[in-house]
Structure 1
Amino acid sequence: MARFIDPDSSRTLIDKVADRWKQDCLVDSGSILWGDRPVWTEPNLRDFQSRFLENPMIGTELDFSGKIEVQLEEAPDDVRWLAVELLIVYFLFARRLIEGPAKRELLFRVAGPLDLTEAPAWEEIAETMNYGIGNPGVGYNIHRDRQIGYLLDFTLRFKAIEAREDREALLNDPWRLRDFADDAAEGIQVREMRHVLLHLLRPDEFERMSSQTHKQNIVRAFEGDLFGDEPGPEDLDERILRIREKLVALGAQPNAHQGILDFYHPPLHQIWDSSSSRSEGTSDLDLLEYKKQMVLYGPPGTGKTHRTRELASSLIRQAALRKWGAGEFFASQDRVERETKGRIHWLQLHAAYSYEDFVRGLRLNANGGTEYVDGFLPLLVSEIEKEPVETRLPTVLVLDEINRADLSRLFGEAFSLLENRDKPLTLPGQDDEGNSTTLSLPADLYVIGTMNLIDQSVEEIDFALRRRFFWRPAGFDPTSIVAVNESRWPEQAPSKYGWDRAVGDMELLAERASLLNEAIERSPHLGSQYVIGHTYFFDASFFAGHSLEGVKQLTGGVFWQKSGNPKTSIEDLWEFSVRPLLEQYLAGIDADSARSEIDSLRDVFLRGTAT
């Protein structure tokens, strides 16, 4: 079964609400909040459709909540209740990306003049909003209109099935339901909500995933090793269910919660590249395996190092699963860890690092003469080739901060080996017997570079280098600010102040960080390459926790007072983490202009508005 139960969540509450929606609202036409009240009727759905989909308000400066408030002006009460309940369904899956206070706030805004607290099921729904099943990705939050649009289309098509027993029969058949979910109306984008709905309605057959790419990664990582050439289903979800059943039979759940295997937990998630941020399209692991060279680039603090480590680990673990077989792989997790760590080689580049260091160069010998000595790359290749190619696992060479070295000069003539790995290259110099040294790169040597945009832009890289690598941007991710600080909160804050006391301000912190970066992108002195990476905000829990030491009663939030004025905790985060970076970025302009720019950005971050 795919019904994963997170110990920090409340799956029982979520499933109860989902089952009520399925029975009372889809099969029947009642209400999540009001029971038998006719809210999910076809006329109400059509009314909301005309307001929401046929009046998208594209081009306005309003956010999602602002638009839907306008769209619902003068709407009948039951249509407004329908809008609230559509959002309840939308929120059921999301965890960490959208926290409970933010969910409830939006529900109250959409309810408008209606009193949510009068609804018989409101207290239960309000509690359920504190939980979720998984992180559906940034696109789920940014494109709320598309997710709700898909949910609305799904429901209208479902309501078009006249006989009640036919609607029930469809819900009871997971694969017919899947086909129905895929048959969206023209113009409706089948995005994350398709996967979310299938899991809510049939959690034992469909994984708690909102990403098509994640599902493809899982099939690619496991199917061939588990089943070989054995014929199987073509559908992605059926293939994953088949993989799950096989893994359970092999006992591949040593670290699973509640005895339930989960693809987002060890020992599985490191194999299939679960940290990929893309919900659709080609995964990072696919790119690396195909090209064998890729560069992760972006501003400082955007998680390039962490992403590189995860990507390299997934590559090696997949190869181990493939070569050892599932039984040995899952029984040898200590060996997997050793092999993974030992086959990732980090090379920190800098301006003084040269071709002679990396490939080959003249060095003084013990006799006072000179001789050619192999550099880092040939020595690494020599170590790799000591193992038989049939049994060895891939090696990953990480070139950290490639912007600090001239890669074309660093590789020299060996540059061509990146795309012609089967053609040995003759290196400079000969041995005492007049023999030349050759170098070729093994097919199982992969290269990942990291690059900070503040030192050099991608456009400045020469075309010969650019075409030999895939280039993957690593951007600012506000959702990780909340997630990482939540994981750190128990160790940083006094035990009397639980995460529920901090989450509201942490969400506001993520919003303010986003506003700050938008202002940086617009700044004539800075620009997009200078945005502040999300990792610079990961110490927020430390500053908040430190400020709470000895505090008997908290007034306001952990960062902002009720009035909206900043507290010392958030000012310290600015002063010790963000401001020094901005001062470094602005060191090249006159002092008055730099000071004015920093003051303006400070107001954006701490107060939400520029002076």
Structure 2
Amino acid sequence: MITLQAVARFIGSGFSRVKTDALIDEWKNACLLESGSLIFPDRSVWTIENLQDFRERLIENPLQGADQSFGQKLALQLETADEEIRWLVVELVAIYLLFVREAIGTPAKRAMLKSIVAPLGEELPPGWQKISEAMSEGIGNPGPGYNLTRDRQIGYLIDFCLRFKAIGEPNEQQQLLTDPWRMRDFADAASAGIAVREMRHILLHLLFPDEFERISSRTHKRVIVDAFANEFLTGDAVSDDVDERLYEIRQRLTATGAQPSGGDSMFDFYRPPLQSIWDPGSTQSEGASDIDLLAYKKQLVVFGAPGTGKTHRTRQLAEQIIRRAALEKWGAARFFTEQAALDGYIAANVHWLQLHPGYGYEEFIRGLRLTPDGSTTYVPGYLPLLVKAINAVPPKDRLPVVLVLDEINRTDLSRMFGEAFSLLENRDSVAILPGVNRDNGDDQVATLALPSNLFVIGTMNLIDQSVEELDFALRRRFFWRPAEFDASAIVAVNANRWRKHSPTKWGWDRAVDDMTLLAERAGLLNQAISASPHLGSQYELGHTYYFDASFFVGNWLRGRKTLSGGGVLWATNGKPRPGLNDLWTYSLEPLLMQYLGGLEADVAASERARLKAVLFSGTLP
């Protein structure tokens, strides 16, 4: 029997999902098993014919381009649709929106649904109310990618429904709706050409909230399993399926009796301290995660263009490697009860070293220094002193120690490491360091060995140096993780900052569409920069340069009574609002001016104008 604590239905204190769960139950019975409707008790809306009609409009007649929002494209696709098709689309989009809590506000959800049937010119029927009320809840935040690919998410949902109805046999359909693991296999068997994206994970949680986590990312699920497997998936045989492994981890976490989510008697992988153990901080969907790379190699370089979040990612990795080790070494009971102590370990065990052209072997490994009497003596550098401090800790108490070498491209790293360079990949070896202080009566030869719990993370800016220019011996001793432009982060961070910077009467729902468009345009701008004969891919603008958009928009909105004729960044006619102009003037253009500083003034000005037009109009030249 699953206890209340062991289920995945939890969504956080102060939030409700009662109306959401009730609507999904009705959807299963009225729309999947039957061909009825959520809104009309006496209509056949969810028919195979209607679903096929909308599939042709959405999937087989896609409208490409970043100059139109999803709503604008959908309006064109539904121009010739009859009434039943429009009501089907309303209910389909409602299912798509149910999961989202903050990324799309309640007013924006309701407005999106109303716009679909607005051309009918009819009053909203009584059945509309329950859908409208369910839009006020929300279960989680699937990430901006869910919002950026609405057509693909809804396309998957259409395909799921058509395949379910094609089963034909009611008993088999009913069995599928009561067996979570059979439903998982069915959800994975999408038709050819249909991308299995976030909607798959969301749909499984909506249908089986006690078995499937409120996690919309396949990568997140896999990394969570990797983080907790050593502690909770040992001994008994466990399925290789990531969802079943997550389910087993939750059961065993619950069995520890700990309450890691703030005393809510619930476990949630998106709340501390659980989140800080696994959160990959990366949009990569397949392959090895960053924490996998660091744990295996012990040396990792995070490299990329300016503004791509290298420092932030490095801090995350350093904390994660320590928290994972603490969970494995301490066990779950101690781990969850000694979080304050663990925070202290993290603060003490992460060391940042800012490199510069004047920093070398003498400062890092060993060098001669003048003594007060005028003689010289060899003194240990930063690394030997750090190793000495690590070795002073009893082995049973040791947790990972992370050395961050910030901006490794600003010094000669091979020379800086010297004899210690080979120790990076040979942790059992001992290097003999030069120089003996015989004048001081010290005839001992200085040696150095790197402890197994020392991890090294470097950061590197591609503007200053490319990876290809680095020494091959250096490159093979590190894994190299590119920090890339992340359009989804632009929407996510501005969503988090919106309440702080904008007047309370302007909700995030008024900004989300324009912020989503800004993220798309930022990607187009980077394409133009990469193709520019004056710049190149190393000069692409990182996503962090767009994080102040909410500040500029909020500053403009203060004192305004109304907002008509468009969104917060673009007017209806496509002209930029003051907030977008400010973002360009104070955040983006100065960086481009620096990059183009070596060109003739008129050539540089022309190139900046060309790039500005890409961001503002969304058209590549």
Q: Does the 8 Å contact 1:429/1:436 carry over to 2?
A: yes
Quickly say closer, same or farther: Cα 1:248–1:563, change in 2 above 3 A.
same
489-498 or 96-105, which moves further after superposition? Answer: 96-105
| Counterpart-to-counterpart distance in 1, 2:521 and 2:76 | 25
Q: Is residue 570 from structure 1 mapped to residue 580 from structure 2 by the alignment?
A: yes
Q: Is residue 333 from structure 1 mapped to residue 339 from structure 2 by the alignment?
A: yes
2:216 corresponds, among 195, 210, 221, to 210
Quickly say closer, same or farther: Cα 1:219–1:119, change in 2 above 3 A.
same
383-392 or 327-336, which moves further after superposition? Answer: 383-392
Quickly say closer, same or farther: Cα 1:83–1:260, change in 2 above 3 A.
same
Equivalent residues in 2 for 1:141-152, closer than 5 Å? 147-152=153-158
218-227 or 262-271, which moves further after superposition? Answer: 218-227
Q: Is residue 319 from structure 1 mapped to residue 333 from structure 2 by the alignment?
A: no
| Counterpart-to-counterpart distance in 2, 1:526 and 1:560 | 28
Aligned to 2:385: 379
Equivalent residues in 2 for 1:197-276, closer than 5 Å? 197-226=203-232, 228-256=234-262, 259-276=265-282
* 1:469 counterpart letter in structure 2: F
Aligned to 2:416: 410
| Counterpart-to-counterpart distance in 1, 2:112 and 2:560 | 31
1:300 corresponds, among 290, 299, 306, to 306
Residue aligned with 2:271, SS? coil
1:456 corresponds, among 448, 461, 465, to 465
| Counterpart-to-counterpart distance in 1, 2:422 and 2:474 | 10
Aligned to 1:22: 28
Residue aligned with 1:20, SS? helix
| Counterpart-to-counterpart distance in 2, 1:282 and 1:504 | 33
| Counterpart-to-counterpart distance in 2, 1:257 and 1:511 | 40
1:180 corresponds, among 186, 201, 220, to 186
Kindly state the Cα deviation for residue 154 of structure 1 after the two structures are TM-superposed.
Answer: 2.8
Kindly state the Cα deviation for residue 158 of structure 1 after the two structures are TM-superposed.
Answer: 1.9
| Counterpart-to-counterpart distance in 2, 1:463 and 1:144 | 44
Kindly state the Cα deviation for residue 545 of structure 1 after the two structures are TM-superposed.
Answer: 2.8
Aligned to 2:603: 593
Kindly state the Cα deviation for residue 246 of structure 1 after the two structures are TM-superposed.
Answer: 3.0
Residue aligned with 1:289, SS? helix
Kindly state the Cα deviation for residue 117 of structure 1 after the two structures are TM-superposed.
Answer: 6.7
454-463 or 374-383, which moves further after superposition? Answer: 454-463
| Counterpart-to-counterpart distance in 1, 2:311 and 2:68 | 33
Q: Does the 8 Å contact 1:3/1:208 carry over to 2?
A: yes
| Counterpart-to-counterpart distance in 1, 2:174 and 2:263 | 32
Aligned to 1:465: 474
Residue aligned with 2:464, SS? coil
* 2:422 counterpart letter in structure 1: S
* 1:347 counterpart letter in structure 2: L
- Gaps in structure 2 of 5+ consecutive residues: 1-6
Aligned to 2:396: 390
Q: Does the 8 Å contact 1:250/1:327 carry over to 2?
A: yes
Residue aligned with 1:397, SS? strand
| Counterpart-to-counterpart distance in 1, 2:122 and 2:444 | 85
| Counterpart-to-counterpart distance in 2, 1:139 and 1:486 | 13
Residue aligned with 1:175, SS? helix
Q: Is residue 479 from structure 1 mapped to residue 493 from structure 2 by the alignment?
A: no
Q: Is residue 604 from structure 1 mapped to residue 614 from structure 2 by the alignment?
A: yes
Quickly say closer, same or farther: Cα 1:594–1:362, change in 2 above 3 A.
same
| Counterpart-to-counterpart distance in 2, 1:512 and 1:10 | 36
Kindly state the Cα deviation for residue 333 of structure 1 after the two structures are TM-superposed.
Answer: 1.0
Quickly say closer, same or farther: Cα 1:469–1:145, change in 2 above 3 A.
farther
Residue aligned with 1:393, SS? coil
99-108 or 17-26, which moves further after superposition? Answer: 99-108
Q: Does the 8 Å contact 2:353/2:405 carry over to 1?
A: yes
Residue aligned with 1:436, SS? coil
Q: Does the 8 Å contact 2:144/2:492 carry over to 1?
A: no
Which protein has greater RCO, CA pairs closer than 8 Å, 6+ apart? 2
| Counterpart-to-counterpart distance in 1, 2:69 and 2:503 | 36
* 1:490 counterpart letter in structure 2: R
Aligned to 1:39: 45
Equivalent residues in 2 for 1:73-84, closer than 5 Å? 78-79=84-85, 81-83=87-89
| Counterpart-to-counterpart distance in 2, 1:354 and 1:206 | 52
| Counterpart-to-counterpart distance in 1, 2:84 and 2:268 | 39
Equivalent residues in 2 for 1:488-567, closer than 5 Å? 488-555=497-564, 557-567=567-577
Quickly say closer, same or farther: Cα 1:414–1:215, change in 2 above 3 A.
same
| Counterpart-to-counterpart distance in 2, 1:376 and 1:396 | 13
Kindly state the Cα deviation for residue 467 of structure 1 after the two structures are TM-superposed.
Answer: 2.0
Instruction: Give TM-score scaled by structure 2 length.
Output: 0.87
| Counterpart-to-counterpart distance in 2, 1:454 and 1:99 | 39
| Counterpart-to-counterpart distance in 2, 1:594 and 1:126 | 52
Kindly state the Cα deviation for residue 199 of structure 1 after the two structures are TM-superposed.
Answer: 0.7
Q: Does the 8 Å contact 2:108/2:510 carry over to 1?
A: no
* 2:365 counterpart letter in structure 1: V
Q: Does the 8 Å contact 1:302/1:534 carry over to 2?
A: yes
Kindly state the Cα deviation for residue 244 of structure 1 after the two structures are TM-superposed.
Answer: 1.8
Kindly state the Cα deviation for residue 50 of structure 1 after the two structures are TM-superposed.
Answer: 5.9
Kindly state the Cα deviation for residue 289 of structure 1 after the two structures are TM-superposed.
Answer: 0.7
Give % identity.
57
* 2:552 counterpart letter in structure 1: F
Kindly state the Cα deviation for residue 314 of structure 1 after the two structures are TM-superposed.
Answer: 1.0
Equivalent residues in 2 for 1:31-70, closer than 5 Å? 31-48=37-54, 55=60, 65=70
Q: Does the 8 Å contact 2:100/2:141 carry over to 1?
A: yes
Quickly say closer, same or farther: Cα 1:31–1:431, change in 2 above 3 A.
farther
Aligned to 2:95: 89
Q: Does the 8 Å contact 2:167/2:173 carry over to 1?
A: yes
Q: Does the 8 Å contact 1:256/1:262 carry over to 2?
A: no
Residue aligned with 1:428, SS? coil
Q: Is residue 3 from structure 1 mapped to residue 3 from structure 2 by the alignment?
A: no
Kindly state the Cα deviation for residue 568 of structure 1 after the two structures are TM-superposed.
Answer: 3.2
2:201 corresponds, among 192, 195, 205, to 195
256-265 or 578-587, which moves further after superposition? Answer: 256-265
| Counterpart-to-counterpart distance in 1, 2:143 and 2:279 | 15
RMSD: 3.4
Q: Is residue 423 from structure 1 mapped to residue 429 from structure 2 by the alignment?
A: yes
Q: Is residue 439 from structure 1 mapped to residue 445 from structure 2 by the alignment?
A: no
What does the per-residue CA deviation read over 1:63-106, in whole Å, with 9 as the maximum and x for residues that have no partner? 89588778778666545654554444334334555666876787
| Counterpart-to-counterpart distance in 2, 1:199 and 1:399 | 42
| Counterpart-to-counterpart distance in 2, 1:421 and 1:549 | 59
Quickly say closer, same or farther: Cα 1:97–1:460, change in 2 above 3 A.
farther
What does the per-residue CA deviation read over 1:218-250, in whole Å, with 9 as the maximum and x for residues that have no partner? 222223224543444443223222322332343
474-483 or 590-599, which moves further after superposition? Answer: 474-483
What does the per-residue CA deviation read over 1:343-401, in whole Å, with 9 as the maximum and x for residues that have no partner? 11111111221122122222222332222222111211111111123320001111111
